[in-house]
């Protein structure tokens, strides 16, 4: 009887070690690096959206006018459904221009990609801006 | 005695709890880590288009400034700022953007303005750019010209109504880079003795926008001379100013 109890303890201990070991194994097999091809296509979508806005100088003029709502609405239209974005605008001296966030949802918890875009206003007083657009698929 | 029998099960339960703690901690770290491990993936092709687009905007804005009374040197100043700005971006490697302002019979310091007495007026800016990118993997040398031109063509006819009263027709054509373009503002003037007067305050002034860069103004005015001179002052959608004068043809 005593011997059998000892064997069960050993089996239980093995089982416990097995459970912890498999938990560690599962945690190490999680994908550590994001899908680069998917990210590249998302970056291209973002870049093309900014380029489309910038073709006739609209983008830089909206930035100059600090019309963040119009920029957000434009990106909402130009970007595919299911893409979350966060745009940060810097001036020529690398100072952040937008004091309020330009985004449609929170990027936290999503694999994101970032593109940088430089643009100039075509007004009589030329201003230069650097835009950093972070994008992520939410679906 | 009961406690001793259940100790193995407690060990298993404890192992399960530890395993779930390990897994949930790993999932949390992975989820939070996704935003911090973002990558920057631009394409070189699109980046070059961006630089060209920016160069065009800078030239356009500078021309708008100059034609509205600004110094000619503003073009060189703005392009130098743009070159420095591009050079400060370390995208794909070391960026160098150089520019040369056009100098020939028409252009001086990259600017050509012709607002003379002929029937056409021109406001133009011309610069050539050289973009160089050097990195361990990429070596690029690209040259591109940027020519921003707003052209105006004015034609006019008149007929005498009674005495000095004349009915004048003025047709205006606006173009950007040789393509029909819309104007933001057009003001028509006529010459009465030594003074230029605005036509839109005269009686029966009508103005038609054909929507294709062609505009037509018609007005009646008291003009003693048989030589009727008109002038069109135009600001296009890019805020570039241009004007041209024309002598009306009697019909």
pLDDT on residue B1: 47
> Of B41-50, B144-153, B172-181, where does mean pLDDT reach its minimum?
B41-50
Q: Within an 8 Å CB–CB cutoff, is residue A101 touching chain B?
A: no
Instruction: From chain A, pick out residues whose CB is under 8 angstroms from the CB of B18.
Output: 19-20, 23
Same domain, A74 and A52: yes
Determine, for residues A48 and B46 on separate chains, whether the beta-carbon distance falls below 8 Å: yes
Q: Would you call B104 helix, strand, or coil by DSSP? A: coil
Same domain, A72 and A21: no
Considering only residues A28 and A120, tell me which one the structure prediction assigns the higher pLDDT. Answer: A120
Percentage of the residues of chain A whose pLDDT score is greater than 90: 47
Rounded CA separation B163/B109 (Å): 49
Work out the minimum CA distance from A82 to partner chain B, whole angstroms: 17
Determine, for residues B35 and A117 on separate chains, whether the beta-carbon distance falls below 8 Å: no
Same domain, B132 and B227: no
Instruction: From chain B, pick out residues whose CB is under 8 angstroms from the CB of A57.
Output: 57, 60, 238
Residue B150 pLDDT exceeds 70: yes
Does some domain include residue B16?
Answer: no
pLDDT on residue A6: 77
Taking alpha carbons only, the member of B104, B23, B34 closest to residue A84 is B34
pLDDT on residue B29: 74
Same domain, A66 and A94: yes
Same domain, A55 and A120: yes
Same domain, B141 and B162: no
Same domain, B246 and B159: yes
Q: Domain holding A95: CATH number? A: 3.30.1140
Listed in sequence order, the residues at least 6 apart from B98 whose beta carbon sits closer than 8 Å to its beta carbon are B83, B129, B130, B132
CA B177, B181, B183, B186 torsion: positive or negative?
positive
Does some domain include residue B174?
Answer: yes
Rounded CA separation B141/B158 (Å): 56
pLDDT on residue B198: 94
pTM assigned to the model:
0.80
Rounded CA separation B214/B172 (Å): 6
Considering only residues B89 and B76, tell me which one the structure prediction assigns the higher pLDDT. Answer: B76
Radius of gyration of chain A (CA): 25
Same domain, B159 and B235: yes
Same domain, B51 and B130: yes
Same domain, B98 and B191: no
Q: Domain holding B236: CATH number? A: 2.60.40
DSSP class of residue B109 equals: T
CB atoms within 10 A of CB A96: 10
Same domain, B127 and B70: yes
For residue A29, what is the nearest residue in chain B, using CA coordinates? B26
Same domain, A114 and A49: yes
Percentage of the residues of chain B whose pLDDT score is greater than 70: 92
Percentage of the residues of chain A whose pLDDT score is greater than 70: 88
Determine if residue A104 is left, alpha or beta; phi over 0 gives left, psi from -120 to 50 gives alpha, anything else beta: alpha
Which of A13, A112, A119 is nearest residue B35 as measured by Cβ atoms? A112
For residue A61, what is the nearest residue in chain B, using CA coordinates? B57
Same domain, A80 and A113: yes
Same domain, A5 and A40: no
Does some domain include residue B193?
Answer: yes
The contacts found for B19-26 with CB under 8 angstroms, 24 or more apart, are B19/A19, B19/A20, B19/A22, B19/A23, B20/A23, B22/A20, B22/A23, B22/A24, B22/A27, B23/A23, B23/A26, B23/A27, B26/A27, B26/A30
Query: Where in the sequence is the domain holding A19, given as residue range(s)?
Result: 1-30
When divided into structural domains, chain B yields a total of 2
Bridge partners of A83, per DSSP, are A137
Instruction: From chain B, pick out residues whose CB is under 8 angstroms from the CB of A23.
Output: 18-20, 22-23
Rounded CA separation B167/B159 (Å): 5
CB atoms within 10 A of CB B246: 23
Same domain, B164 and B145: no
Determine, for residues A27 and B31 on separate chains, whether the beta-carbon distance falls below 8 Å: no
Percentage of the residues of chain B whose pLDDT score is greater than 90: 68
Q: Which helix (H) or strand (E) holds B94?
A: strand B94-101
Which of A19, A47, A109 is nearest residue B42 as measured by Cβ atoms? A47
Residue A37 pLDDT exceeds 50: yes
Same domain, A56 and A91: yes
Same domain, A98 and A83: yes
When divided into structural domains, chain A yields a total of 2
Work out the minimum CA distance from B38 to partner chain A, whole angstroms: 5
**The domain boundary residue, chosen from B83, B118, B149:** B149
Same domain, A59 and A21: no
Same domain, B48 and B144: yes
Give pLDDT tens digits for B165-193. 999 999 999 999 999 999 999 999 999 98
Residue with tokens 């606006």: B174
Query: Where in the sequence is the domain holding B182, given as residue range(s)?
Result: 151-250
Give pLDDT tens digits for B105-133. 999 999 999 997 789 999 999 999 999 98
The interface predicted TM-score of the complex, written ipTM, equals 0.78
Residue A33 pLDDT exceeds 60: no
Same domain, B79 and B155: no
Q: Within an 8 Å CB–CB cutoff, is residue A125 touching chain B?
A: yes
Give pLDDT tens digits for A55-95. 988 999 899 999 999 999 999 999 998 899 999 999 999 99
Determine, for residues A44 and B43 on separate chains, whether the beta-carbon distance falls below 8 Å: yes
Determine, for residues B11 and A30 on separate chains, whether the beta-carbon distance falls below 8 Å: no
Instruction: From chain B, pick out residues whose CB is under 8 angstroms from the CB of A114.
Output: 38-41
Same domain, B51 and B139: yes
């Amino acid at each position: 009887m005593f011997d059998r109890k000892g064997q069960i303890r050993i089996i239980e201990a093995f089982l416990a070690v097995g459970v912890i070991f498999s938990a560690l194994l599962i945690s190490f097999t999680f994908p550590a690096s994001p899908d680069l091809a998917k990210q590249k296509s998302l970056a291209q979508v973002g870049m093309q959206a900014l380029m489309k806005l910038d073709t006739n100088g609209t983008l830089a003029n909206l930035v100059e006018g600090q019309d963040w709502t119009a920029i957000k609405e434009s990106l909402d239209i130009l970007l595919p459904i299911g893409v979350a974005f966060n745009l940060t605008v810097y001036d020529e001296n690398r100072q952040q221009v937008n004091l309020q966030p330009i985004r449609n949802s929170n990027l936290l918890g999503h694999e994101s990609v970032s593109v940088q875009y430089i643009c100039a206003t075509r007004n009589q007083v030329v201003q230069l801006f650097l835009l950093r657009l972070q994008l992520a698929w939410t679906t | 005695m009961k406690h001793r029998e259940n100790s193995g099960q407690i060990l298993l339960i404890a192992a399960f709890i530890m395993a779930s703690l390990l897994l949930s901690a790993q999932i949390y770290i992975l989820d939070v880590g996704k935003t911090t491990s973002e990558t920057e993936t631009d394409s070189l092709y699109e980046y070059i288009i961006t630089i060209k687009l920016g160069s065009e905007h800078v030239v356009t804005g500078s021309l708008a400034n100059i034609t509205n009374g600004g110094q000619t040197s503003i073009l060189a100043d703005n392009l130098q700022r743009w070159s420095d700005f591009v050079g400060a971006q370390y995208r794909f490697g070391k960026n160098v953007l150089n520019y040369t302002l056009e100098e020939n019979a028409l252009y001086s310091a990259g600017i050509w303005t012709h607002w003379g007495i002929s029937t056409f007026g021109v406001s133009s800016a011309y610069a050539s750019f050289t973009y160089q990118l050097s990195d361990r993997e990429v070596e690029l040398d690209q040259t591109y010209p940027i020519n921003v031109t707003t052209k105006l063509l004015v034609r006019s006819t008149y007929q005498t109504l009674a005495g000095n009263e004349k009915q004048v027709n003025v047709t205006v054509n606006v173009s950007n880079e040789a393509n029909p373009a819309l104007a933001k503002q057009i003001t028509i003037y006529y010459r009465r003795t030594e003074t230029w007067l605005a036509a839109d305050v005269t009686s029966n002034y009508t103005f038609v926008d054909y929507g294709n860069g062609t505009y037509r103004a018609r007005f009646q005015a008291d003009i003693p001379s048989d030589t009727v001179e008109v002038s069109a002052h135009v600001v296009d959608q890019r805020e570039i100013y241009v004007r041209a004068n024309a002598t009306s043809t009697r019909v």
